[in-house]
Chains A and B, each alone.
Chain A
Amino acid sequence: MAKGPTPAELANIDYTPPQTEWMDTPTVIKTGTFCWGAKAKNLNIVEFPNARDWNPSEEDWKLPENWQEIFLKGMKDLLGKYRSFKVFMDICVRCGACADKCHFFIGSGDPKNMPVLRAELLRSVYRNDFTMAGKILGKLAGGRKLTLPVLKEIWYYLYQCTECRRCSLFCPYGIDTAEITMMGRELMNLLGLNTDWISGPVANCYMKGNHLGLEPHAIMNSIEGMIDDIETITGIRINPSFNRKGAEILFVTPSGDLFADPGTYTAMGYMMLFHELGLDYTWSTYASEGGNFGFFTSNEMAKRLNSKIYAEAKRLGVKYIIGGECGHMWRVLTQYMDTWNGPADFLEVPVSPITGTRFENAKSTKMIHVTEFTADLIKNNKLKLDPSRNNGLNVTYHDSCNTARGMGLLDEPRYIIKNVCNTFHEMPENTIREQTFCCGSGTGLNASENMELRMRGGLPRANAVKFVKEQYGVNTLANICAIDRATLSASMEYWVPGTRVTGVHELVANALIMKGEKERETDLRGDPLPGKEGN
């Protein structure tokens, strides 16, 4: 952060609520804690309503005249479509168990970042307009009118939630703020109130197949570059295929893996592994995005983007799909894809061609996680590994929110790491597995203009890393999420400098002994391997 507060300044957090009641405490939209508004051109590409250029920090949000009507009608519609939304609007008892579970509250002390209060911002409008008590008693029943300041407040805090679901773990009724945020953002999209950092990738992904807007040849160029690097390191030239009909497997990963460090090292890892196995797989330039920023706008948009994966699998005639390391991608693939765009009856139940293992747990979606695939390989002794090549790395593992609380993929990546690295230490138990903390920048909040917010939200995760760094000398933070690889790099630099952020398959490829490789001098990053420093 160039001009923002220093870590010491930021860590000075006051958890005392204001003297005034929250409904009477106006919200100020603060620089460093919000993302720029969506541009009209990006919303127009995906046919979203009320597209216009707008700026959240300006007084005039250029709302359509009947914005209240649109919002409330949209709310009524969603209440009829989602039992979760309806029940969660009604049954909260405000026990406060969720309050200090949110990384944004822990990092900011802002009471409106307590999950309960974030939900109450919207719930108060619900009570006012949709419940008998609220219609009669108004504020006494906890209701409030949807005024312009109220709309702005709701917007502001909907984009300070990463839908990580940590609060829902502790809620005695399982109230999931992610659901509420998703509904709220869907309502905001009816008014054109998206952010630039989300709507840009959505438009890119819709037209070009991936968030970064990489056109077909650019994807290939990027991968070519990685192939050159792999050859330099291992002496082996690998030859992946693209859009190839008749391949056994379609491989889909977040486009972040193709674009920038350290994600590219993870992508190199996948390719080295698949090459070594002689896997019959293909990349697709059309379905070149595993992630889904549509998921942060509306249900419909998420489905529109997700549709490409099955459509491409069908067109290419593959048997099943392997998905790369990504967080929200796997929430979508696990809990939404089959419902939206299935049944995938043109595919087969995934069977590992190397081990013969049948992945019964994915027999309907026909898509397996690459760490499931690799864990199975290692368990069946199909890989020659030299974990000592990772000896310089003292590793800990960050569970992504979505693979932890939207899937339960907890032990597979750990099993892999323990087999490819010699030194591994867990972070404290309240910060890992199902209790894991968000990186602080999920759900499209990984922009640069909201860096203060990101660093605040990233504090709990970073603090746990700092603990194992001081305790055990941990210097490497492994994860299975493309957004993590980008955002944790930033929050580590800020809170725990000197920590390497890495994907799991980068570690795998470092340790992987490939047939016919030359003696390796460096790891995938070009850093000398342990014992080769003098060369």
Chain B
Amino acid sequence: MKILLPFVAVIALVFLAYAGVGVAKLHFLFGVVLPYAAIAVFIFGFIYRMFIWGKSPVPFSIPTTAGQQKSFPWIKQNKLDNPSSTLGVIGRMALEVLLFRSLFRNTKTELRDGPVLSYGSEKFLWAAGLAFHWSFLIIFVRHFRFFMQDVPVVLQMIEGADSFFQVGAPLLYLTDVVLVAAVTFLVFRRLAMPLIKYISLPADYFPLFLILGIAITGILMRYVTKVHIVGVKELVMGLVSFSPVIPDGIGVIFYIHLFLVSTLLLYFPMSKLMHFGGVFLSPTRNMPANSREVRHVNPWNYPVHVHTYEEYENDFRDKMKKAGLPVEKE
């Protein structure tokens, strides 16, 4: 159920767009209104979520230290995994966000008779995660050719590199293949590993199926069911310049693709996909480990009821005197 439901939901979205555009001819709704609404929700939703997180303070300095601390000049500090400076934190965060360093540490625990526990290297999740996120980013950047009148050189270089192997016509983009393969692996992983399946929620499958739907419709458009590409650019440029137009004859599949993307944008701020923003706010990663050197201030620190020395001495004065301990009051 928790797998089937999100799958059916994505199929239903496809049919909804197909019926809306192909049958009911609601081109303007699916081509203009929904994309605008989705982008607005995405931008404001994203900012709102970051704002809400940011509103809660960080009362304590709680970095997870993952290497040797800074102590003596003759003991080598691990400046990236236990950073004591801002520069170190930037390095740590960059490695985390760009290369998924923590996930790279991943191991697989195995228990054999004896008992013998062993911890083997397990890089598949890291590799698939990295492949997925990076190919998604490159594909996203490649789409900017639709948003700009003239295609910048940088974009052309990215496209050139992405189609390096020159397979087929139109040229096959590597990232298209990698994205589909990686997402498929991530779905497969959730289904095949009993413990991962056990922890998975509908909210874990839905974005995977949705992104797979987006990728497949995009690939179909490029390589199989061709759409009227000049019309697509015209529509997108219309959206970008706030003078929307609906050119004729683009093809329904484009609207399906666009609708799935709109759904992703709408869904993003209210889902776990916000890990994209959240990772930057994670206190175990984005704080310098220097709290013995520089005092961290808690904005809501308040006085507490303590048991003072005076009270303690009052409780034990006789015993203290008998034991020869100095006292404040005789």
A336 on the interface (CB 8 Å rule)?
Answer: yes
| A96, B194: Cα distance in complex, Å | 11
B295 on the interface (CB 8 Å rule)?
Answer: yes
Contacts of B283 in A (CB 8 A): 83-84, 87, 174
Q: Which of A93, A207, A304 has the most CB of B within 10 A?
A: A93
Which of A13-21, A57-65, A186-194, A250-258 binds B? A13-21
Q: How far is the CB of A116 from chain B (nearest CB, A)?
A: 5
Q: Is the CB of B312 within 8 A of A96?
A: no
Interface residues in A209-232 by Cβ distance below 8 A to B read: 209, 215-217, 220
Q: Which residue of A lies closest to B302 (CB)?
A: A300
A80 on the interface (CB 8 Å rule)?
Answer: yes
Q: Is the CB of B53 within 8 A of A83?
A: yes
Which of B36-44, B99-107, B227-235 binds A? B99-107
Given contacts A87-B53, A174-B282, contact A339 B291 (CB under 8 A): yes
A506 on the interface (CB 8 Å rule)?
Answer: no
Q: Is the CB of B119 within 8 A of A430?
A: yes
| A467, B202: Cα distance in complex, Å | 42
| A80, B58: Cα distance in complex, Å | 10
Q: Is the CB of A434 within 8 A of B65?
A: yes
| A361, B70: Cα distance in complex, Å | 7
Q: Is the CB of B298 within 8 A of A172?
A: no
Q: Which of B111, B281, B300 has the most CB of A within 10 A?
A: B111
Q: Is the CB of B56 within 8 A of A315?
A: no
Q: Is the CB of A83 within 8 A of B66?
A: no
B241 on the interface (CB 8 Å rule)?
Answer: no
Q: Which residue of B lies closest to A464 (CB)?
A: B117
| A459, B57: Cα distance in complex, Å | 38
Q: How far is the CB of B13 from chain A (nearest CB, A)?
A: 16
Q: How far is the CB of A260 from chain B (nearest CB, A)?
A: 21
In this complex, the interface size class of chain B, counting residues with CB under 8 Å from chain A, is 35 or more
| A396, B2: Cα distance in complex, Å | 47
B242 on the interface (CB 8 Å rule)?
Answer: no
Q: Is the CB of A311 within 8 A of B306?
A: yes
Which of A238-246, A483-491, A507-515 binds B? A238-246
Q: How far is the CB of A439 from chain B (nearest CB, A)?
A: 15
Given contacts A97-B106, A408-B82, contact A217 B320 (CB under 8 A): yes
In this complex, the interface size class of chain A, counting residues with CB under 8 Å from chain B, is 35 or more
Q: Give the contacting residue for B296; candidates A299, A333, A339, A459; CB below 8 A.
A: A339
Contacts of A308 in B (CB 8 A): 306-307, 309
Interface residues in B64-122 by Cβ distance below 8 A to A read: 64-72, 74-76, 78, 81-82, 84, 96, 100, 102-103, 105-109, 111, 114-117, 119
Q: Give the contacting residue for A17; candidates B81, B106, B194; CB below 8 A.
A: B194
Given contacts A91-B278, A339-B298, contact A411 B75 (CB under 8 A): yes
Contacts of B309 in A (CB 8 A): 286, 308, 311-312, 315
Q: Is the CB of B279 within 8 A of A94?
A: no
Q: Is the CB of B325 within 8 A of A343?
A: no
Q: Is the CB of B59 within 8 A of A339?
A: yes
Contacts of B315 in A (CB 8 A): 207
Given contacts A339-B298, A342-B295, contact A220 B105 (CB under 8 A): no
B226 on the interface (CB 8 Å rule)?
Answer: no
Q: Is the CB of B320 within 8 A of A169?
A: no
Q: Which of A21, A171, A300 has the most CB of B within 10 A?
A: A171
Q: How far is the CB of A308 from chain B (nearest CB, A)?
A: 7
B243 on the interface (CB 8 Å rule)?
Answer: no
| A120, B75: Cα distance in complex, Å | 40
Q: Which residue of A lies closest to B6 (CB)?
A: A140
Which of B211-219, B250-258, B269-277 binds A? B269-277
Q: Is the CB of A97 within 8 A of B308?
A: no
Q: Is the CB of A407 within 8 A of B60?
A: no
Contacts of B293 in A (CB 8 A): 360-364
Q: Is the CB of B278 within 8 A of A170?
A: no
Interface residues of B (CB under 8 A from A): 2, 5, 49, 52-62, 64-72, 74-76, 78, 81-82, 84, 96, 100, 102-103, 105-109, 111, 114-117, 119, 125, 129, 193-204, 270-272, 274-275, 278-279, 281-285, 289-298, 300-301, 304-309, 312-313, 315-316, 319-320, 322-326
